[in-house]
Structure 1
Amino acid sequence: MCLIVFSYKQHPTYDLIFAANRDEEYTRPTRAARFWDEHPYILAGKDLQAGGTWMGINNKGEFSALTNYRDPTIQKEDPPSRGQLVLNFLKNNQHPAQYLRKIDSKANHFMGFNLLTGSPDHLGYYSNQQNEIQLLDSGIYGLSNHLLDTSWPKVNRAKEGLSDAIKNGEVSEETLFEILADDREAPTNQLPDTGIPIEIEKKISPVFIKSDHYGTRCSTVLLVDKSGNVTFYERRFIPGTQQIQDENRYEFATNDNIY
């Protein structure tokens, strides 16, 4: 993912309200979200090039999501796929903090990343550019290609949109997709400096990115209510547009006995 906004234990119905856009090269092969044949309790999309995923949830209600950390000065020789960080959490039945401690011991092998790991009762965050494991309190959070809650224009707009929806009692799948569909570029004087050319920085500054070769490939909404009922809704787009290519929607009740 390249833009995530989420509410944790801030709503009378939903413990988790999660909305995210995955931005990627249009040519990178990807499979739509579904329950995996090899791991039938895991619901996630699949990166067909490296075999991992950018976000997913299992039938126990454990979920994980990842964004890349944008810094062109970070160089690694043959680094492992960051998508495995998400997949391995969903497979291994570990407390979020326990899993992040395990990742911390080998985090320097990876390119820059931010990782969220959650269970029905705990939500953890870790970046290998900060090397600090955080268990998050209730709140509204935003994450893009820098650290959690970095004040980038796209992060601020998405957080404001989610906060307004909760305040006004308008939380719905369509409302969350509308937040993710914001394709306004940020003013030049508000752009972050991440070490890439300013014209590219501006092109990728919207919540929803559209360019010739790279952009928002899919939007995903995840809702988990206080009874453990899950709604997972993915929309994939024709490259370079907001025209929906296909949709995948799943509903299920969490179950502790999946391993």
Structure 2
Amino acid sequence: MRSMCVVALAHQTHPDWPLILIGNRDEFHARPAAPLAEWDDGSGIVAGRDMQAGGTWLGAHRPSGRVVVVTNVRGAMPDPAKESRGALVSDLLRGEGRFADPAAEDLPRFNVFNLFAVEGGAARLLTNRPVPLVMPLDPGIHALANEPVDAPCPRAERLRLALEATVAAGSDPEGLLDTLMAEDDPALFLRGDVYGTRASTLVAVSASGDVRMIERRYEKGGRPIGTTALTFRIG
């Protein structure tokens, strides 16, 4: 799973929404995926689903409020013998399974990735490029794309600044979905016919535990094909 390619996280900074996660998933248009929904397996996961490998790139866990997102990292050929990054996300969301609480030494088992995991008032960065790392994140605004975490990435910085402006204004984070597909900013939204942006997703969790998730989906050429908006309470 190639996974989402640019994402920004506001952790404990917005006056109304202590967690805001916003990002674009870029993928081959031919790869099948199910829209955002609560999974029917009793796991409590609310996410889109990669129908080829069975995992997800971004999701929330309704009972606990956990939120996890993964990106791939450019410059490395995928190894089919490695563990699924989508399974890593699913286990982290459920809080159970082989990869529910991975240590740094577990991370080389996966193809290269960057990942944000948020639970309660704590957030972590997990990555295995350039070195395996599990690191707590301070309150603030953080961004990832498909570059190693020690490399500058204009795409991630563009989204980080947009999220920073939303937080500074105390604005409704839903407007960030328009930023993600702005016609005048091709760095964030890829309009390819074979490979491109498949979905823009917002997760916003309020201080009282109300969750808003919105997914806008696109087909080749960046043409909209549907939107799902869900609201629920943690627990």
TM-score normalised according to structure 1 size:
0.82
Which of 220, 226, 230 aligns to 1:239? It is 220
Which structure has the larger Rg?
1
Matched, 1:169 2:170: yes
Structure 2 gaps of 5+ residues are: none
> Could you list the per-position Cα deviations for residues 95-143 of structure 1 after superposition, in whole angstroms to 9, with x for gaps in the alignment?
x9x7131xx3332222111122111121111111121211101111110
Matched, 1:88 2:106: no
Query: 1:3-42 counterparts in 2 under 5 A?
Result: 3-42=6-45
Aligned match of 2:140? 139
Matched, 1:63 2:67: yes
Structure 2 distance, partners of 1:62, 1:5, is: 16
Structure 2 distance, partners of 1:160, 1:149, is: 18
Matched, 1:228 2:209: yes
Structure 2 distance, partners of 1:81, 1:140, is: 28
Aligned to 2:165, what secondary structure does the other structure show? helix
Structure 2 distance, partners of 1:170, 1:209, is: 26
CA contact (8 A) 2:29 2:219 kept: no
Identity over aligned pairs, percent: 31
CA contact (8 A) 1:141 1:149 kept: no
Residue type of the partner of 1:231? R
Deviation at 1:8, TM superposition (A): 0.5
Query: 1:48-127 counterparts in 2 under 5 A?
Result: 48-59=51-62, 60-72=64-76, 74=77, 76=79, 78-92=81-95, 99-101=101-103, 104-127=104-127
Cα distance, 1:161–1:240 mapped onto 2, change above 3 Å: same
Matched, 1:153 2:154: yes
TM-score normalised according to structure 2 size:
0.90
> Could you list the per-position Cα deviations for residues 163-204 of structure 1 after superposition, in whole angstroms to 9, with x for gaps in the alignment?
11222232331x11122113556xxxxxxxxxxxxxxxxxxx
Give every structure 1 segment of 4 or more consecutive aligned residues whose post-TM-superposition deviation is greater than 4 Å.
none
Q: Root-mean-square deviation (CA), in Å? A: 2.0
Matched, 1:2 2:19: no
CA contact (8 A) 2:217 2:225 kept: yes
How many correspondences in the alignment?
Answer: 229
Aligned to 2:162, what secondary structure does the other structure show? helix
Structure 1 distance, partners of 2:162, 2:194, is: 28
Structure 1 distance, partners of 2:78, 2:220, is: 28
CA contact (8 A) 2:108 2:132 kept: no
Structure 2 distance, partners of 1:77, 1:229, is: 38
Aligned to 1:206, what secondary structure does the other structure show? coil
**Hey, which of these two has a bigger chunk of strand by percent?**
2
Structure 1 distance, partners of 2:107, 2:79, is: 12
Structure 2 distance, partners of 1:86, 1:183, is: 31
Structure 1 gaps of 5+ residues are: 186-204
